[in-house]
Amino acid sequence: MSDRQSSNAYWQANLRIIYVCMVIWALVSYGFGIILRPLVEGIRIGGTDLGFWFAQQGSILVFIVLIFFYAARMNKLDRDHGVDE
């Protein structure tokens, strides 16, 4: 594979990881916290309904998990494409 093809494959894989993270973040933050809140408000967690939990704490925790997921996936992608440190 040429350098240009390798570079394009690397960036396409990078963008795919970013898109997955953004979709998960949007689903949790806007989906469960705002749009789907009436559907999940009957479910109790930590003394409050699940929609409120996602809006206040869940989206932040999912965001932190996504940061670690992104870092791990990018480290693997860097190793696979020979651009790791």
Segment 34-46 shows an average pLDDT of 81
Q: What is the pLDDT of residue 1?
A: 61
Segment 38-46 shows an average pLDDT of 81
pLDDT tens for 3-32 read 788 888 999 999 999 999 999 998 888 887
For the chain, what are the domain ranges? 3-80
Inform me whether the pLDDT recorded for 43 exceeds 80: yes
Question: pLDDT averaged over the chain?
Answer: 87
* Cβ burial 29-39 (10 Å sphere, 16+ → b, else e): bebbbeeebee
Q: Note the Cα 1 to chain centre separation in Å.
A: 30
Inform me whether the pLDDT recorded for 52 exceeds 90: no
